[in-house]
Amino acid sequence: MTRVRLFADRDYPAYVRIKRLAEQRDISVAEAREQDGRWDHSRYERVRVVAVDEEDAPVGYGEIYHEPSRFDPRRYFIRLAVDPRLRRRGIGAALWTGLRAELDERSAKVACLWADDGTACREFIVERGFVEVVRSFEQVLGLARAQQPIAAAEKAVTAQGIRIETMSELLARRGRDTLALIHELYTSSRAGQPTLGAVTARPFEDWRREVFDELHGLPDAYFLASDDDRLVGCSAVHAAGEDVLRILITGVLPEHRRRGIARLLKLRVHAWARANGYREIHTNTANPAVVALNTALGYAIVASWGGYELAIR
């Protein structure tokens, strides 16, 4: 019979092996420990459990956690994975029973996660009452054939008094303290966008580390729109392969939307990518307006997946 217990330090090698097998995550034990060590338990809760065999060796893991970028004290995101070689033996069910007990103990209101269509994960969560509430789309742009109607877009936006510049240019002009304003825009420009939960601000240092240290963000490909001295929009990419970029963010403040700013920001990203020898740009979004904009600019939808919620209380 499968037993579920709390995660322990000795479980890291098995935990990493399961993530590699079940989630295709290329992560080392040292990296997993480092990521866990950075978790701010004083602000965000996280509980991880493992399912173990008769020799106490982990064969699956599950966790509930607060997502810092969509923080709600009673909303918990879920991860659950089982060694693919041992599926359909009740391990996932045992893990879910353990996680559900942890959720009930915390008076959780909502549990949520993203799941691919046609997978065992989706079937598993739907059977337990999870409902799709939002859909995200993966889109790809081939730069060689992409149209670049940038001149007309530039004319329309600059006529409104909007200035477009790179992060490098902005920091050189206004100083490093401006990085805090860029961080604020990263959250406020996504207000109201469809996702699992409402967008909230991540701590500045966590955002800086992810964008620049982990994703190796490109300041020369991080475009910002200003109305007078106020930042009102942004679009940026990071490298995702030798000749592939991935959109990090495209967002505009609610009161500045539908004015062509997002379109111009993306076109500036495209022009930079083409000039620097990139072949493709990949992105995913659950925002129908952005999906439509991307489609108009030549992006093709190549995949989609659902965001699922379980109402607990």
For the chain, what is the radius of gyration of the CA atoms? 21
Bridge-based pairing of strands 131-142 and 222-227 is unpaired
| pLDDT at residue number 258 | 94
At 95 the pLDDT is 97
Q: Which amino acid is at 277?
A: G
Q: What angle do CA 72, 311, 39 make, to 5 degrees?
A: 35
Q: Residue with structure tokens 């939808």? A: 301
How far are the Cα atoms of 31, 50, 259, 304 from residue 232, in angstroms, in the given order? 36, 45, 11, 29
In sequence order, what are the beta bridge partners of 75? 110
> Could you read off the pLDDT of 124-154 as tens digits, one per residue?
999 999 999 999 999 999 999 888 889 999 9
Give yes or no for a contact between 222 and 189, defined as CB atoms under 8 angstroms apart: no
pLDDT at residue 161, as a whole number: 96
Parts of the chain with a pLDDT under 50: none
pLDDT (tens digit per residue) in 105-121: 999 999 999 999 988 88
Q: Work out the burial of residue 65: count CB atoms within 10 Å of its CB; fewer than 13 is exposed, 13-18 middle, 19 or more buried.
A: middle
Q: What is the pLDDT at residue 149?
A: 86
Q: Looking at residue 147, what is its pLDDT?
A: 83
Query: Looking at residue 288, what is its pLDDT?
Result: 94
Give this prediction's pTM.
0.91
Q: What's the confidence (pLDDT) of residue 25?
A: 87
Q: How far is CA 105 from CA 65, 94, 292, 313, in A?
A: 14, 17, 42, 12
State the DSSP code for 147: -
Indicate the burial class of 208 (C-beta count within 10 angstroms; 0-12, 13-18, 19 or more).
Answer: middle
